[in-house]
Amino acid sequence: MDDLLKNLNEPQRLAVTTTEGPVLVIAGAGSGKTRAITYRVAYLIGAKRIPPRNILAVTFTNKAAEEMRNRIYKLLGVTELESWIGTFHATCARLLRREADRLGFTRDFAIYDESDQLLLIKHCMKKLSLPEREYNPHAILSRISLAKNKMLFPDAFREKAGDDFEATVGNIYKLYAEALRENNAMDFDDLLCNALLLLLQYPECSEKYRSFFRYVLVDEFQDTNRVQYELVRELAREHHNLCVVGDDDQSIYSWRGANVDNLFDLQKEFPEATVVFLEENYRSTQSILDAANAVIANNSKRKPKKLWTKNDRGKNVMWCSAPDEHSEARRIIGEIRRLRQENPEMGNSDFAVFYRTNAQSRVLEDEFRAAGITYVIVGNVRFYDRKEIKDTLAYLRVLANPADSVSLRRIINVPPRGIGKTTLERVGEFASDRRTALLEALGHASEIPQLRADARQSLLKFHEYISRLIRQKNDLSAADLVREVINTSGYAEMLTQDPSFEAQARIENLAELVSAAAETGEKLNDFSLDAFLQSVSLQSDVDGWDERMDAVTLMTLHMAKGLEFTAVFMAGMEEGLLPHANALLSEKSLEEERRLCYVGITRARKHLVFTSADVRRIRGEIEVNEPSRFLAEIPDELMDAEESVPDSRLVRDEHYQEMPDYEDGFRVGDIIEHSTFGTGVINTVSGSGESAKVGVRFYRDNKQRDIVVKYASLKRR
């Protein structure tokens, strides 16, 4: 156990060994907060002989929980422990599995995810005869979720309702809560709320868990919401054996109800707490740390912190600006290759690329795939697997192939247009009786028996809509068709009505699909819908990567919390992306964007590269963005700025025409045409003259082939 303490600095040791009474660790990034929590659990078990099951340790993600568990096993030299290490949601679910009957649920209650929740909301709205056209189920759901996060239950919510909309939400909320009960189900918010209710309403239960969880530890406390705060407070109410760690500079989830004040409120709640400050950073080079400090110093509402390191100064941080987002992505790839060459010990998994919006991953994915570099996207679905993208592609598939009933079924009532399951069943029967395609059957709705008049009307209207698009499809480019579908199908409208963060992200993803269609047209010199759909199908076929492979990590900044990588790229360092356009108007949200930037910077151990694009497609339009203000906050002597040379694989567009053309032989990134293998992209170039060789990854089968230039008649596209 002495060995264990040897690996800690003085203040960390204090946080670990002060096992009785409250301990509050407030400290900057990479200062060993998570390490302190981890060692504290090990110390409680190893030195204080506390049974593992009596310790509750809460982490921010499941992955963090797993890592903590493994570290503790290693520290203690064991392979298994009956421990309570997990996220708030996982912990509450576990607790409720034991106690659910007190609240009128059985122990095998279901946990509903978002799609289940939406079905249920719609069901309730139907009962109340509320048309989905007027009340967006997504919007209703986020309203209810926010209420739950404040422990505002249906009756209280209805009493407080300020206007008609709120009153309606209140009515739906009431039915929704009843329906959950009828289904013996809880949604994600319920897991937290019900666990808290259990403690507040059943003193004997509260007593039981207060004495069971004799030690409570929470990581990343700056991003807890009110219910989570109350849970912690209740559990530690008597014994006060609480250790909470956090960094107010890293609070980045306020849009989801997190409240950084929790960190300081807790200090007031437990005034006797031992407050520990950690100031030594073990993660990053001095340059990276200086850059991080310089940026965060611009936030006015913060408690100043000292953060220093014994680590080397290291290299300056780097900023590469590229002409456009594809060059930006290729610049990142080039830099990864260069760093790997210079540092042979580095593998792909030492690299991470962070971005602000999910939509940015599309171009990165395309380029990584083309370059044959293995990557993993952490925490979100791949671009073409996202629901909104799949839905929109389903529309396009119906236009391309009116017989595609599977795609038609997918979107016939998305967004909702009053074509329910029964109606669809009857149309289906009619279609199979007549041996016609489903789409055609819609046009004969007036002949279909047993349909309600309004359903019949909806079917005819939808048939007319799709038919109109089909008539237009040959006159419009794929990009225009994508835009048309998004705007006229009601899909965009459905999302705009929903104020939630997710809906906002979905809108951005759809805009990115317009960009993808435009680019594919330019790349293939074929702007037709068929060409686009074909290229998309190929793309989703080639997800050849294996998660166990050595892969570069791609993730949003929000997902990067708590992690560290030897080399970090922060892409899209532009006004409008970071800080995000939505945050530009208020100082408060601007400061949260700056914290997000700080979180990104402080993930890097040795290498940090910012990248930006002079122009990029956003929502299908070419936009010229200024470099992020956060870059200007980093002193010149800490940062090397480099403009990258425009390469030959630029999107052909009037905005790019002044760019110089580089036609001196084949270059990495060139798209070429091979007489046998078809189109592909060059990702290695070697030798010269007679022996010049290029490595090409071909789109058709995603295979990498070495080609001797002399013997192949390669054409550049």
CB of 694 to ligand ATP, least distance (A): 40
At closest approach, how far in Å is the CB of 9 from ligand ATP? 5
Contact track, ligand ATP, 264-293, x by CB under 6 A: ------------------xx----------
Determine which helix (DSSP H) or strand (DSSP E) holds 570, and give its type and residue range.
Answer: strand 565-570
3-state secondary structure of 335: helix
Task: Give residue for tokens 């702007």.
Answer: 527
Partner residues linked to 616 by β-bridges: 623
Residue 552 near residue 351, CB atoms below 8 Å: yes
| Residue 425 is a catalytic residue | no
* Cβ neighbours, 10 Å, residue 490: 15
CB-nearer residue toward ligand ATP: 26 or 353 = 26
| Residue 87 binding target from Mg ion, ligand ATP, none, CB below 5 to 8 Å by type | none
CB 292 within 8 A of CB 598: yes
The answer to whether 697 is a known catalytic residue is no
Separation of CA 674 from chain center: 38
Residues present in the chain in total: 717
Nearer to ligand ATP, 22 or 30 (CB): 30
12 binds, among ligand ATP, Mg ion, none (CB under 5 to 8 A by kind): ligand ATP
Contact flag: residue 497 with ligand ATP (CB under 6 A): no
Per DSSP, the residues of 524-556 read HT---HHHHHHHHHHHHHT----TTS--EEEEE
The least distance separating Mg ion from the CB of residue 219, rounded to whole angstroms, comes to 6
Q: What contacts 342, CB < 8 A, 6 or more positions away?
A: none
Least Å distance between CB 661 and ligand ATP?
45
Binding mask 249-268 for ligand ATP (x = CB under 6 A): -x------------------
Residue among 219, 248, 280, 391 flagged as catalytic: 219
CB of 247 vs Mg ion, minimal distance in Å:
8
Judged by CB under 5 A, the stretch of 196-204, 459-467, 555-563, 692-700 that binds Mg ion is: 555-563
Of 8 and 442, CB closest to Mg ion: 8
Q: Are the CB atoms for 717 and 673 separated by under 8 Å? A: yes
CA–CA gap between residue 674 and residue 695 (Å, rounded):
12
Strand partners, 674: 678
- For the question of residue 219 being annotated catalytic, the response is yes
Chain Cα centroid distance, residue 343: 30
Is 595 noted as a catalytic residue in this protein?
no
305 binds ligand ATP (CB under 6 A): no
Distance of CA 649 to the CA centre of its chain: 29
Helix (H) or strand (E) segment spanning residue 215: strand 215-218
CB nearer to ligand ATP: give 7 or 688.
7
Please report whether residue 562 would count as binding Mg ion according to CB under 5 A.
yes
d(CA 544, CA 374): 9
* Least distance (Å) between residue 69 CB and ligand ATP: 15
Any residues with CB less than 8 A from the CB of 537 and at least 6 apart, and which? none
The pattern of x and - marking residues 355 through 394 that bind ligand ATP according to CB under 6 A reads: ----------------------------------------
Which residues is 318 bridged to in the sheet?
609, 640
Query: Quick one: angle between helices 226-236 and 203-212, nearest 10?
Result: 80
The verdict on whether 34 is a catalytic residue reads yes
Is 31 an interacting residue with respect to ligand ATP (CB under 6 A)?
yes
Is residue 562 at the binding interface for ligand ATP, with CB under 6 A as the rule? Answer: yes
> Is residue 534 annotated as a catalytic residue, yes or no?
no
The residue sitting closest to Mg ion, measured at its beta carbon, is 34
For β-strands 317-324 and 23-26, DSSP reports them as unpaired
Return the range that interacts with Mg ion (CB under 5 A); candidates 34-42, 322-330, 528-536, 670-678.
34-42
- Residue 35 interacts with ligand ATP (CB under 6 A): yes or no: yes
**Separation CA 241–CA 221 (nearest Å):** 16
Kindly name the residue from 250, 360, 520, 553 that is annotated as catalytic.
Answer: 250
- Residues interacting with Mg ion, by CB under 5 A? 33-34, 562
Catalytic residues: 33-34, 219-220, 250, 603
Binding residues for ligand ATP, rule: CB under 6 A, are 7-9, 12, 27, 29-35, 247, 250, 282-283, 562, 564, 602
